[in-house]
Amino acid sequence: MREASTQYAKGPAGFYDFEDDEQYLASPLKIVDCGDADILQGDLDYSFQSIEYAVRKIIENGTIPIIMGGDHSITIPVGRALESVGEKVSIIQFDAHLDWTDHVGPQSYGNGSPMRRLSEMDHIDKMVQIGLRGIGSGKRSDYMDAKNYGSQLISAREAHEIGVEGVLKKIPKADKYFISFDIDGYDMSIAPGVASPYPGGLFYDQVMDIFKGICKMGKIVGIDMVEVAPNTILPALQ
């Protein structure tokens, strides 16, 4: 992902977008690659602490962290670091899956549980989940718990039906937003290289328009993008 992104790293002039009539990525805007968080295979606590430490430092410097995973478990330490924002943060999650499972077997900090773990943090405010669909997304009780917490649950099908404006209306009002983007929220036709590809998902322009709408609603204090896993593309899709 980082290597691919360098094709847009061509200096301070940025790029003209004719559809938006905007010069994107131009100076004084600066994107800095901060390298990897130190991950120790087999030591979840150490790895999570490394991620949290790095994200806190970036926030404390007054900048916006954009974190590339990793699976969706990384949103747990990233969520802890959002305490450094100093205000409540509302979560906008794009995902085929709810990710509200309390635990999968003995694992409470895996990629099925990040939103449940975030909901337990005092500095995390309301949530919205966009792109939900398919089987294996969570138990009925997980959906009930998410709704009782105050989460807005928007299936991919509903997002298509109500359109971008309809989705934006369902996003809770907040001053600060964190966007957690699991790329399996996208339809598998445009993002097959994920751990759990599933049809019936969101499309690129649709998501970009929702992003632009969110930018007008409040300040985005961080973004993560997770579950990019080209090596796990199902053999039939290669």
Contacts to Mn ion by CB under 5 A:
72, 95, 97, 99, 182
User: Which of 125-137 are b and which e, b meaning 16 or more Cβ less than 10 Å from the residue's Cβ?
Assistant: bbbbbbbbbbeeb
**Nearest approach, Cβ of 64 to Mn ion (angstroms)?**
21
Nearer to Mn ion, 63 or 155 (CB): 155
**Nearest approach, Cβ of 154 to Mn ion (angstroms)?**
15
Q: C-alpha angle 4/167/18, rounded to 5°?
A: 45
Q: At what angle do helices 156-170 and 204-217 cross, to 10 degrees?
A: 20
**Nearest approach, Cβ of 150 to Mn ion (angstroms)?**
19
CA 156 – CA 194 distance, rounded (Å):
17
Nearer to Mn ion, 97 or 126 (CB): 97
Nearer to Mn ion, 25 or 195 (CB): 195
Q: Which one, of 208, 178, 173, lies nearest residue 55 by Cα? A: 178
- Phi, then psi, of 146 in degrees rounded to 5: -65, -45
Nearer to Mn ion, 14 or 180 (CB): 180
CA 202 – CA 16 distance, rounded (Å):
26
Nearer to Mn ion, 95 or 142 (CB): 95
**Nearest approach, Cβ of 193 to Mn ion (angstroms)?**
15
**Nearest approach, Cβ of 198 to Mn ion (angstroms)?**
11
